Amino acid sequence: MNLTGDLPDLPVPDGALVKEVNRDELTALRQGKTDLPSEFYRDELGVNDRCFVCTICDELAFICWIRTEGSDALLKLGEREAEATYAYCLPRFRGKGLHAVTLNLAAKHLKSEGLRALWGKVHDRNVPAMKNVLRAGFQMVGEKKRLGFFVWGNQFCTSAGESSLIDVGGAPRGK
């Protein structure tokens, strides 16, 4: 997502509030919940990504993580670039497009801080995720085929098929 241009304005569902949270605030939101998936505990895995949540009437509904430095097998972040890494909407809050709304508002927040690009990767069979990232303001700039668990040159993979690289702000880069 090119953060130097205009980003779309999306309607925010009733009762929804998007905010960046620190570790203490996230811990408080998780308090008393025993069935949250692992996407809600990235901080406890030693991951230092920034965390954005969407609450509905003060209840945790959606989470996404954004890293602002470093690299992985597919993306090497440049200066003032970030990557939306993990995202998860709790099943009972799905169908409201919280993924798109949260990414869109998080992107605007990053833009206000002077970041210039937000990258992301979405599996092409993940229809809701693909729809949401495009609505949030991402554009497709490249695709990576996955052929197995092993990296061979610039090709990646699992038996899962293809994955898509979403973004604008530059050409997709492999390592």
Q: What residues line the site for ligand COA (CB under 6 A)?
A: 87-89, 94-99, 122, 126-129, 131-132
Measured from the CB of residue 15, what is the shortest distance to ligand COA in angstroms? Answer: 14
DSSP readout, 98-150? HHHHHHHHHHHHHHHTT--EEEEEEETT-HHHHHHHHHHT--EEEEEEB-SSS
Looking at beta carbons only, is 82 or 89 nearer to ligand COA? 89
Residue 27 is which amino acid?
T
Looking at beta carbons only, is 79 or 133 nearer to ligand COA? 133
Measured from the CB of residue 121, what is the shortest distance to ligand COA in angstroms? Answer: 7
Q: d(Cα 137, Cα 104) in Å, to the nearest integer? A: 7
Looking at beta carbons only, is 4 or 158 nearer to ligand COA? 158
CB atoms within 10 A of CB 138: 25
Measured from the CB of residue 77, what is the shortest distance to ligand COA in angstroms? Answer: 17
Measured from the CB of residue 114, what is the shortest distance to ligand COA in angstroms? Answer: 25
Q: d(Cα 110, Cα 49) in Å, to the nearest integer? A: 13
